[in-house]
A = this chain, B = another copy of it.
Amino acid sequence: MVHPKQPPGQGDRSPTGEDAAIQRIGMLLKSRFGGPPPGETWSGDDAAVVSLPGVAGDHPSLLLTTDAVVAGVHIDLALVSLSDVGWKALTVAISDIAAMGGTPAHALVALGAPPGTDLDEIAEGIGEAAEQWCCPVVGGDLTAASQVMVSVAVTGSLEGPAPAVLRTGARPSDALFVTGWLGASAAGLRILRGGPASAPAIGESERAALELSHRRPRARLAEGRAAREAGATAMMDISDGLGIDLDRLARASGVGFVLDEVPVAPGATPEEARSGGEDYELLIAAPDDGSLPDRFEALGLRPPHRIGVCTADGGERRLGDATFEATGYEHRF
């Protein structure tokens, strides 16, 4: 069944309160400077792409991003450890750098916590992630707060000549890829919560892997760089669920899409794969000529999943013959 088509930017998902507020505030703040200089990207993508004063180059090459993780909002301290909070806060910011095709360079951490919080355990998780992603923490701030909150800012650079991959460049007939199975983080969270009876039956090692996906997400740095080198036209990380995030990419690029499949992580449900969020796999649009999978193979990376194609009708949102809803993960903790 083919659903009624809608003009670009008028899909069946209303902007969430969060999206709307971010857009409004971003506009408020940009307007004071008349928007970014040519070639720069400010808020609205995974990371900002800017020039550093006094540093010349073919294109702006300093990446900047910030993310805050708040206990009780993004993460439940009854289910995960403080070191997991630290890991996650740094990793989700690093993932934004991955989503531009960049390489992280430095992290800054602002940490708020109630008295008596084990700060060293949070720092342990931050440090493990910093080491994992080769991104030293070069500064920080520490403050009292009523809940644990970790704000991380990360700088990144672009190796090689290709510019950053934005969300806005996807073209009709580009293929759409994701870098891994989806839904693992949501399934891990379900299991950590005690799991409903509807959970697919899985073994102990699969169970542990799903929990780990929730507690310790990965940033797809090598994949992001490979995609940029291979000529990806648009990219973002899947933080809020494929449903919402693919809708965002399509809107930003002014394209529609038709999906063939959504790769479901072993032990996850199709719904978790579609709307669970927090997988931090990359969603990539690239010319449908095999260059992206070839590049991944040449680098020894896991093959990306080709999930569908972009279409010229900016309102088209399909999975096979059905409408693909822009559902996802919206601050539901």
Contacts and interface: CB of A to CB of B under 8 A. Distances in A.
| Copies of the chain in the assembly | 2
Contacts of A52: 52, 55, 62, 105, 155, 157
Contact of A331 (B22, B32, B105, B144): B144
Interface string A105-142: 11011111000000110011011001100001111111
B149 A66 contact: no
A146 B72 contact: yes
Interface stretch (A40-48, A163-171, A271-279, A321-329): A40-48
Contacts of A139: 42-43, 47-48, 64-66
Interface residues of A, number: 68
Given A145-B73, A155-B64, A140 B25 contact: yes
A53 interface: yes
Interface in A23-41: 24-26, 28-30, 32-33, 36, 40
A129 to B, nearest CB: 10
A142 B25 contact: yes
A196 interface: no
Contacts of A143: 68, 70, 73-74, 331
Contact of A53 (B33, B48, B105, B131): B105
A212 interface: no
A185 interface: no
A159 B55 CA distance: 11
